[in-house]
Amino acid sequence: MNKKNLFTLLTLLVIASMALAACGGGGSAATTESEADGPKVTSTGFACPAAEFPMEVTSTEVNIFVWTEYIPVEMLECFELVYGVKVNRDEYSSNEEMYAKVSAGGSNYDLVQPTDYIIALMARQELLQELDHAKLPVLKNFDANYLDFEFDPGNKYTIPYQAGTDAIVVNTDAVENAPASWEDLWKPEYAGNMVFLDDSRATIGLTLLTLGYDVNTTDPAQLDEAKTKLAQLVPGIKLFDSDSPKTALIAGDVDLGMTWTAEALLAQQENPAIQYVYPTEGAILWQDNWAMLKDAPHADAAYALLNYTMQGDVFWLMLRDFPYTNPNQAALDYAKTNQTELYDAYMASPITNVPADAIKNGHRIADVGEATPLYDDIWVEVKGQ
């Protein structure tokens, strides 16, 4: 290429990239204007409620590390508008990923959203700081059934966010005989047609259940048996996806599998033929929680964020966007009077309002301590085969 041609090409590139940059600049200028005006309305037109538990905040930002697709846009935008604190959000799609990044150090995050079993591990590694309940008046919003679990007695390190189950999801239009148990998923007729969460403990756990073992076994022989059995299932799993397994279900790429509460409900809203089945061996029960990291640089803003986003007139947004089982009684009460349609749908669906026998029959994943490497190795080996 001669010099002149090269120059023309470069000029074109520069002009085009400047044009693109200009577009970006315009957008951000608009937000600053609306901020100065006063009325606290999000870009989506949602009027932000005032803080129910106002906090003193000196930090200007807060760093959160959260599950993908798990926080309604308005929730964080309102917090930013009300407190003038910028929220920096990073996302993860497995507890293991979150743990690996946080334990590597220097992450600078204030808040994370660990699921039950990883909390004991994080506490043992001294990654979490004890919560000051005096700074969390929002705690009174929670249903006592979701507090004081074995994974964190007395809620020393965590407060609840959302709860749910891992169970079977099936498109009854496309699958003639819907599975009723985890064991059924091994049937050859389903092979190549399944989506699973990319979740090692849940997948190994349900395999252990089909063998009649405990989901938290530390017995190497039982785990070895589970590995052999899981190795037969994995080739029939078309897709592992923890970010948005509903997409493949709705698009018809797969017709059944294992997923968690809201993904099944959202898929069902798109296609009523999609059903959620609590397997006979028992579903996996879990709860996601908020926890603060030991070296959180903006603890004041983090407390404010927890108190604001979990107040009833804000947290009801979860029912609309991420309909998991909601431990927040104030949010449910708010929805009951102000968002009747959402509330009724929530209460009527066995997916979100989990039947009592499904809870009784369910299993909770717990930290397995020294046996953790056994689980980790099974996962790598069955998936790599």
Q: Which is nearer to another protein, 80 or 198 (CB)?
A: 198
Query: How many binding residues for another protein (CB under 8 A)?
Result: 43
- List, in sequence order, the alpha helices (H) in 69-133: 73-83, 95-103, 116-124
- CA atoms 338, 342, 346, 348: torsion sign: positive
9 binds another protein (CB under 8 A): yes
As a whole number of angstroms, the distance between CA 254 and CA 299 comes to 43
- 296 within 8 A of 305, measured Cβ to Cβ: no
User: 84 or 192, CB closer to another protein?
Assistant: 192
Using alpha carbons only, how large is the chain's radius of gyration in Å?
23
Site for another protein in 200-219 (CB under 8 A): 200
Sorted by sequence, the CB contacts under 8 Å of residue 317 that are 6+ apart come out as 72, 74, 75
| Residue 58 within binding range of another protein, rule CB under 8 A | no
CB of 364 to another protein, least distance (A): 20
What minimum distance in Å lies between the beta carbon of 8 and another protein? 6
**Using CB under 8 A, which of 63, 94, 158, 325 touches another protein?**
94
CA distances from 199 to 27, 242, 277 (A): 38, 7, 19
Q: For residues 112 and 66, is the Cβ–Cβ distance under 8 A?
A: yes
- Specify whether the CB–CB gap between 113 and 290 falls below 8 A: yes
Q: Contact with another protein (CB under 8 A): which of 41, 55, 82, 121?
A: 121
* In the chain, alpha helices (H): 3-37, 73-83, 95-103, 116-124, 200-210, 220-233, 245-250, 261-270, 299-309, 312-315, 317-321, 329-338, 340-348, 356-361, 372-384
One symbol per residue from 270 to 309: x for binding another protein (CB under 8 A), - otherwise; what is it? Answer: ----------------------------------------
Looking at residues 151 to 210 of the shown chain, list those that interact with another protein (rule: CB under 8 A): 192, 198, 200
Among 89, 124, 133, 187, binds another protein (CB under 8 A): 124
Q: Exactly one of 79, 99, 151, 315 binds another protein (CB under 8 A); which one?
A: 99
Binding flags for another protein, 236-275, as an x/- string (CB under 8 A): -xxxxx---------xxx----------------------
Residues that bind another protein (CB under 8 A): 1, 5, 8-9, 12-13, 16-17, 20, 94, 96-97, 99-101, 103, 121, 124-125, 192, 198, 200, 237-241, 251-253, 369-373, 376-377, 379-381, 383-385
